[in-house]
Amino acid sequence: MKKIILGLTLLGFAFMVSCSSSTGTDTTPPTITFIQPQNNETINDSIYTIQVSIENNSSTFGIVSTKIFIDSICVVTLGDKENCSYDWHTYWWTESTDHSIRVEAMDGNNNTATKSIDVTLSEQAYIVPKLLTPPDNSTQQNPLDFSWTALPQTAQYEIHVTINDTPFVNTTTNTTYTNSFLIYGAATWKVKAQNALGMESKFSEEYHFTVTETK
């Protein structure tokens, strides 16, 4: 009788261990590997593809979430992917040339791994709108028609016009702007872009022109 009771006890214990191992005792976090970029790399591209490999080390639970951060901003949240990529539009990150890329991966048992690297953006990465009309060093009459090239992901553009030392600032969602000014003389204009997060590109180059009185 004692042998039967002992056998049942051992069987119950084995069943409990089996259930426990299948319901969440695996505490091994995923392994994160940066494919590109590498730590301390200099990036020259205005749109750079970040590529990350996530190795699932849990024998029971798969990857359920991967987040990519640029500095403190979460730029993308991905689902159950073990190979992740994100197209980083670098030209919005103008406050500094030095940035950190952080990846957080979590499996189905809430085991979380984090890995960070540092990168530097070169001046080549900072593309800006290209001014079209009025051309540099031209003579114009009212109304003035301004146009420039588009930047991807732009929510609106900010155009700065200065005529005879008087500044005018306006915004538009288009790549064109028309206005008539009541003053004349030497003038300049330049444009910068803004995305939906409120991040701004660098200014375009500055063009010079002259506004003459309409006869």
Question: Can you give the CATH number for the domain in which 180 is found?
Answer: 2.60.40.10
Backbone angles phi, psi at 145, to 5 degrees: -110, 120
Decide: residue 13, CB within 10 A, 0-12 exposed, 13-18 middle, 19+ buried.
exposed
pLDDT the model gives residue 82: 76
Asked whether 185 and 140 are in contact (CB, 8 A), the reply is: no
**Percent of all residues in the chain with a pLDDT value above 70, rounded to a whole number:** 88
Question: Measured between alpha carbons, how far is 73 from 95 in angstroms, rounded to an integer?
Answer: 14
pLDDT the model gives residue 10: 44
pLDDT the model gives residue 215: 58
Question: Measured between alpha carbons, how far is 109 from 57 in angstroms, rounded to an integer?
Answer: 11
| Residue 140, in any domain of the structure | yes
Strand ranges (DSSP E) for 21-165? 31-36, 41-43, 47-55, 63-70, 73-78, 83-89, 98-107, 112-121, 131-133, 138-141, 144-148, 154-163
Question: Measured between alpha carbons, how far is 45 from 121 in angstroms, rounded to an integer?
Answer: 8
- Residues 141 and 188 occupy one common structural domain: yes
- Residues 99 and 137 occupy one common structural domain: no
SS3 assignment, position 152: coil
The residue segments making up the domain with residue 105 are 27-125
In angstroms, the Cα distances linking 115 to 54, 68, 104, 214 are: 11, 10, 7, 63
Question: Measured between alpha carbons, how far is 32 from 159 in angstroms, rounded to an integer?
Answer: 43
- Residues 121 and 141 occupy one common structural domain: no
- Give per-10-residue mean pLDDT for the chain (215 aa): 46 43 68 97 98 84 91 90 90 97 93 96 97 97 97 97 97 97 96 96 98 82
pLDDT the model gives residue 6: 45
- Residues 97 and 145 occupy one common structural domain: no
Which residue, of 125, 145, 161, is where some domain finishes?
A: 125
State the pTM of this model. Answer: 0.80
- Residues 88 and 170 occupy one common structural domain: no
- Give every CB contact of residue 23 below 8 A, 6+ residues apart in sequence: none
